[in-house]
């Protein structure tokens, strides 16, 4: 059979997905892709992350060689300009004329720009492509006030982008009386608006823009009510227009309001030409989300390879995070009484709004809206789509079960087999359960064999619940094990290693495990060995996570950072000078960290031993910023200088930091000591925090900053320094011995049965009769402290490991490049 030629017009997400689906089904096609932009296909759904540290490369859907590797010819910067349907040829901008057997139009959409006077002024942008973003970024450097026209999904994304760009004052202008009018109701919009306002966004509803004012460039907006708003720049996000001009030119049928008309096979009025994604109009509707676009791509790929899949509309339920706020809308979100019964839960304090619409007989969920907390989205959506009969108390769906049996993960197995779990890749519940039964028992292997969870990733929690549920249903005991090589939890293995006095990884694997180990168990056991024996970790360098292996944190581009210990944040002028000299000599970028010390970035692996030699000569020690170990004990200046200080918090912080430095634990540890209740050291956000009182110290434990902030809880009140240290010894050692890998103290406590009162009983009242042993074990660790970097600096064999090329130790990695920023360097990436 001779190869058929498929030409794809448009290299966006849907065009790309079509190629991926087609090559997965057959290799009998000659695929040619024409893209208008200069880049390979990229992720438009996460476009706003471009301003949040992601590069254009990060957003790419494939590697640059993907097209060639799969035999696809790609023309970039080369839009198709004409279709000759009689000859079955296309003609592109660069003058290429090619013959096709089938043509797939995936031309997407463009931003709709309303015809408002002044719209052509400088400083007015649309938000659609990476090029648009580059223009916005460049212009924003001189802008203080920015506005977005359109309070829909894309408009709010654009507003987030302006915030990320550092625009001081951002406004959102919406013509309708509420935000996201297509997805949420007015009560939900009200909650979302107040939440967004509290995050610094200015929201104007019911505002219709009459003109853009300014000499050459935009200076203000004038509204229909004659009010004005001064702005420096403007992003228009007022909706999308399907790109149907090429189809129209070729005489294909298009809708009166735009869009290429297709049938259920995505065929246009010419049976050799298909249209998919946002340019396609099916039964009068444009599907402006990525999941239905992918479904359309799959249908065409199936049809071309002899399948018979068809499109019958698509569920437009959606869940997303807007400026950190969860927003979800599913099923029939807007149906109202008397056609249904509506349950609403509103918490203005936390900014949570939940609405569910239930059939009048109380049996079925019809749809709903979630703002502020959308954790239940997946299961609610499944309940709607699969017409699952509701429990007697449907309010549990949004409030959680209050009292009685916990419902966690219980519902997933009641889903019918054809429930669509991953809508991006069209994977059903049955597909996943079968894969689990065939041996894919973790999320990675499920991703690999079903592709579920590889698109937007929103279904991953549900997939995990399905894995656990299926295993349990099969009578398989779901045990908390480290990885495929060890059938033990971390705590079990800790005890085994201790009782049997095993001191290296290979022996642990021989005695208690199987296979050759992996990147999961190696660092866990490395941590256990350190916590037990506190040996020099680089003696077993290849079982350490890469940061521990090179005693430095690997950074973008492959350089490392250097963080000397500065206990309590106290440093002499002489030592400051040394840090400055070292940074200058080795061209390092310097920054003050959140933990009151100085981080030096951009060191070549070859330079690390020499840098540390110089730092150690000046009296510095390793700061263990690379390890699962104590980082810093932050302090306020305390009673020595501060007029409010009750005790000397700096001295106590230094004493504590020196006591626990270098000790390995299940995760990093941070501490703080404040000299009075004003709490300038933020000790209650740390794994352990000490705050001075009139009578002594209050000791708080298990706090956390980071992504899930949690205040530390009070363990003991008005204790003296000695007692405080004693309790800290016990608390830290108990954590080190019993926590799961990579579990911070806050999570460890949250999972602990009995919680804080249990922990208090163990640490203070000695309910387990182990406190003496805990104190003893801690003392052993303290006694065996050594500076890991000094060991390396003094040992030529260990130093030799710090080379990029073993056959050319003096050559540095030529791929590492820097550029300058604010008189310092940054990694070019």
Partner 1 sequence: METVTDIEWILACYTDDVPANGGACIKHGDEQIAIYNFTRRNEWYATQNLCPHKQQMVLSRGMIGSTGEDCNPKVACPFHKKTFSLINGECLSGDDYQIKTYPIKVTDGRVYVGIV
Residues that bind partner 1 (CB under 8 A): 57-58, 62-63, 66, 69, 444-445, 447-448, 454, 484-485, 506, 509, 515-519, 521-523, 541-543, 545-546, 549-550, 554, 557-558, 801, 804-808, 811, 813-815
CB 540 within 8 A of CB 530: no
Which tokens hold the place of 677? 């209740």
Distance (Å, whole) CA 600 – CA 686: 24
Residue whose C-alpha is closest to residue 431's, from 449, 413, 414: 449
Q: How far is the CB of 509 from partner 1 (least distance, A)?
A: 8
Provide the token pair at 446: 């499920």
Shortest spacing between CB 501 and partner 1, in angstroms: 21
Q: Is the Cβ of residue 58 or residue 122 nearer to partner 1 in the bound state?
A: 58
Q: Which two tokens stand for residue 544?
A: 């350490």
* Least separation in angstroms between CB 665 and partner 1: 20
Q: Smallest distance from the beta carbon of 7 to partner 1, in angstroms?
A: 23
DSSP code for 637: -
Q: CB nearer to partner 1: give 354 or 628.
A: 628
Residue closer to partner 1, measured from CB, 541 or 679: 541
Beta-carbon neighbour count of residue 227 at 10 Å?
A: 11
Place of tokens 């300014």: 214
Q: Where are the beta strands (DSSP E) in 280-406?
A: 280-282, 285-286, 318-322, 325-331, 341-347, 352-358, 365-371
Q: At what angle do helices 443-450 and 429-437 cross, to 10 degrees?
A: 120
Burial class, 483, CB count within 10 angstroms (exposed 0-12 / middle 13-18 / buried 19+):
middle
Which residue, 212 or 802, is less far from partner 1 as judged by CB? 802
Instruction: Identify whether the C-beta of residue 635 lies closer than 8 Å to the C-beta of residue 594.
Output: no
Least distance from partner 1 to the Cβ atom of residue 14, Å: 18
The residue (of 55 and 572) whose beta carbon lies closer to partner 1 is 55
Q: Residue 134: CA atoms inside 13 Å, Cβ hemisphere, count?
A: 5
User: Strand ranges (DSSP E) for 615-675?
Assistant: 630-635, 669-674
Supply the minimum distance, in Å, between the C-beta of residue 70 and partner 1.
9
How far is 453 from 447, CA to CA, in rounded Å?
A: 6
Q: Is 610 exposed, middle or buried (0-12, 13-18, 19+ CB in 10 A)?
A: middle
At residue 154, φ and ψ (nearest 5 deg) are -70, -35
Task: Tell me how far, at minimum, the Cβ of 476 lies from partner 1, in Å.
Answer: 17
- Tell me the C-alpha distance between 304 and 307, whole Å: 7
**Of residues 123 and 527, the one with the C-beta less far from partner 1:** 527
Strand, coil or helix: 342: strand
- Using the minimum distance from each CB to partner 1, give the nearer residue, 273 or 524: 524
What is the smallest separation between the CB atom of 719 and partner 1, expressed in angstroms? 42
Helix axes 13-25, 290-304, angle to 10 degrees: 30
State how far Cα 13 lies from the chain centre.
20
Nearest CB to partner 1, comparing residues 332 and 740: 740
Residue closer to partner 1 (CB basis): 415 or 524: 524
Question: What is the rounded distance in angstroms from the CA atom of residue 221 to the CA atom of residue 210?
Answer: 8
Torsion of CA 194, 195, 196, 199, to 10 degrees: 120
**Cα 798 to Cα 793: distance, rounded to the nearest angstrom:** 8
Six-digit token pair at 370?
């979630």
Of residues 644 and 805, the one with the C-beta less far from partner 1: 805
Q: Which is nearer to partner 1, 15 or 517 (CB)?
A: 517
Task: Select 260 or 538, whichever has its Cβ closest to partner 1.
Answer: 538
For 501-592, list the strands marked E by DSSP.
553-554, 560-562, 589-592
Helical spans, DSSP H, in 199-335:
245-249, 290-304
Answer whether 146's CB lies under 8 Å from 124's CB: no
How far apart are CB 444 and partner 1 at their closest, in Å? 5
Measured from the CB of residue 805, what is the shortest distance to partner 1 in angstroms? 4
Query: In the chain, what is the straight-line distance between the N-terminal and C-terminal CA atoms, in Å?
Result: 46
Nearer to partner 1 among residue 369 and residue 508 (C-beta): 508
Give residues with Cβ within 8 angstroms of 573, minimum separation 6.
none
In Å, how far are 100, 118, 350, 578 from 302, measured between CA atoms? Answer: 18, 47, 47, 66
Q: What are phi and psi of 269, to 5 degrees?
A: -70, -10
**Nearer to partner 1 (CB atom), residue 550 or residue 727:** 550
| Minimum CB distance to partner 1, residue 739 (Å) | 21
How far, in Å, CA of 365 to CA of 370, rounded?
Answer: 14
* DSSP state letter for 363: -
Q: How far is the CB of 73 from partner 1 (least distance, A)?
A: 19
Q: Closest CB to partner 1 among 369 and 509?
A: 509
CB closer to partner 1, 290 vs 524: 524
CB of 556 to partner 1, least distance (A): 8
Work out how close the CB of 300 gets to partner 1 at its nearest, in angstroms, rounded to a whole number: 21
Rounded least distance, CB 449 to partner 1, Å: 8
Tell me the closest approach of the beta carbon of residue 541 to partner 1, in angstroms.
6
- SS3 annotation, 618-634: CCCCECCCCCCEEEEEE
């Amino acid at each position: 059979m001779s190869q058929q030629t498929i030409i794809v017009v448009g290299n966006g997400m849907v065009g790309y997905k079509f190629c991926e689906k087609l090559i997965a089904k057959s290799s009998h096609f000659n695929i040619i892709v024409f893209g208008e932009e200069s880049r390979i296909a990229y992720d438009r759904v996460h476009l706003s992350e471009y301003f949040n540290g992601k590069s254009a490369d990060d957003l790419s859907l494939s590697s640059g060689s993907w097209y060639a590797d799969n035999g696809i010819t790609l023309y970039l910067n080369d839009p198709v300009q004409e279709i000759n349907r009689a000859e079955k040829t296309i003609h592109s901008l660069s003058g290429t004329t090619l013959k096709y057997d089938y043509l797939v139009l995936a031309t997407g959409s463009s931003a709709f720009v309303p015809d408002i006077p002044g719209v052509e002024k400088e400083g007015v942008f649309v938000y659609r492509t990476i090029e648009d973003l580059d223009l916005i970024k460049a212009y924003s450097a001189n802008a203080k006030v920015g506005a977005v026209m359109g309070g829909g999904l894309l408009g709010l994304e654009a507003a987030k982008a302006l915030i990320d760009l550092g625009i001081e004052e951002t406004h959102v202008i919406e013509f309708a009386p509420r935000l996201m009018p297509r997805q949420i109701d007015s009560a939900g919009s009200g909650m979302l608006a107040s939440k967004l306002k509290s995050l610094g966004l200015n929201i104007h509803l019911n505002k219709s823009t009459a003109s853009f004012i300014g000499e050459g460039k935009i200076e203000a907006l004038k509204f229909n009510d004659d009010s004005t708003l001064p702005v420096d720049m403007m992003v228009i996000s007022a909706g999308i227009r399907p790109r149907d001009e090429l189809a129209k030119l070729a005489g294909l049928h298009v809708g009166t309001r735009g869009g290429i008309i297709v049938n259920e096979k995505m065929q246009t009025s010419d049976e050799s030409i298909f249209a998919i994604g946002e340019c396609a109009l099916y039964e009068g509707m444009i599907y402006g989300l990525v999941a239905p676009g992918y479904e359309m791509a799959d249908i065409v790929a199936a049809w071309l390879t002899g399948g018979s899949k068809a499109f019958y509309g698509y569920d437009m339920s959606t869940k997303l995070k807007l400026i950190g706020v969860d927003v979800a809308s599913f099923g029939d979100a807007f149906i109202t009484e008397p056609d249904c019964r509506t349950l609403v839960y509103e918490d203005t304090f936390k900014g949570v709004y939940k609405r569910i619409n239930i059939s009048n007989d109380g049996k079925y969920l019809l749809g709903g809206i979630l703002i502020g907390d959308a954790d239940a989205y997946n299961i609610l959506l499944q309940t709607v789509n699969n017409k699952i009969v509701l429990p007697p108390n449907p309010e549990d769906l949004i409030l959680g079960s209050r009292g009685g049996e916990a419902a966690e993960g219980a519902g997933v197995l009641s889903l019918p087999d054809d429930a669509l779990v991953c809508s991006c890749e069209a994977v059903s519940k049955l597909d996943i359960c079968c894969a689990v039964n065939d041996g894919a028992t973790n999320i990675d292997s499920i991703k690999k064999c079903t592709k579920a969870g590889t698109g937007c990733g929103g279904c991953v929690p549900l997939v995990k619940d399905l894995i656990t549920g299926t295993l349990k249903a099969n009578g398989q005991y779901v045990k908390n094990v480290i990885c495929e090589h060890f059938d033990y939890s971390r705590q079990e293995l800790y005890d085994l290693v201790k009782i049997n006095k095993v001191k290296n990884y290979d022996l642990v694997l021989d005695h208690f495990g199987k296979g050759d180990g992996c990147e999961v168990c190696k660092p866990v056991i490395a941590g256990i060995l350190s916590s037990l024996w506190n040996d020099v970790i680089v003696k077993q360098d290849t079982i350490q996570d890469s940061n521990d292996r090179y005693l430095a944190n690997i950074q973008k581009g492959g350089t490392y950072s250097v963080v000397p210990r500065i206990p309590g944040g106290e440093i002499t002028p002489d030592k400051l000078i040394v840090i400055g000299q070292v940074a200058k000599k080795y061209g390092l970028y310097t920054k003050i960290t959140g933990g009151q010390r100085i981080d030096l970035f951009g060191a070549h692996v070859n330079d690390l031993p020499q840098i540390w030699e110089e730092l150690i000569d000046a009296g510095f020690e390793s700061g263990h910023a690379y390890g699962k170990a104590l980082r810093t004990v932050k302090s306020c200046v305390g009673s020595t200088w501060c007029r409010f200080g009750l005790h000397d918090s700096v001295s106590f912080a230094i004493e504590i930091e020196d006591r626990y430095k270098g000790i390995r634990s299940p995760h990093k540890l941070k501490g703080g000591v404040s000299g009075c209740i004003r709490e300038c050291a933020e000790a209650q956000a740390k794994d352990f925090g000490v705050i001075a009182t009139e009578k002594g110290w209050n000791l708080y434990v298990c706090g956390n900053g980071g992504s899930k902030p949690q205040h530390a809880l009070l363990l003991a009140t008005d204790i003296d320094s000695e007692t405080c240290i004693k309790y800290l010894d016990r608390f830290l050692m108990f954590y080190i011995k019993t926590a799961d890998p990579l579990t911070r103290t806050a999570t460890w406590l949250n999972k602990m049965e009995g919680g804080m009162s249990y922990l208090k009983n163990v640490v203070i009242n000695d309910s387990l009769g182990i406190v003496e042993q805990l104190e003893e074990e801690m003392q052993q660790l303290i006694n065996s402290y050594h500076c890991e970097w000094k060991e390396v600096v003094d040992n030529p064999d260990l130093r030799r490991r710090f080379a990029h090329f073993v056959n050319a130790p003096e050559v540095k990695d030529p791929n590492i490049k820097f550029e300058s920023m604010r008189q310092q360097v940054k990694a070019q990436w």
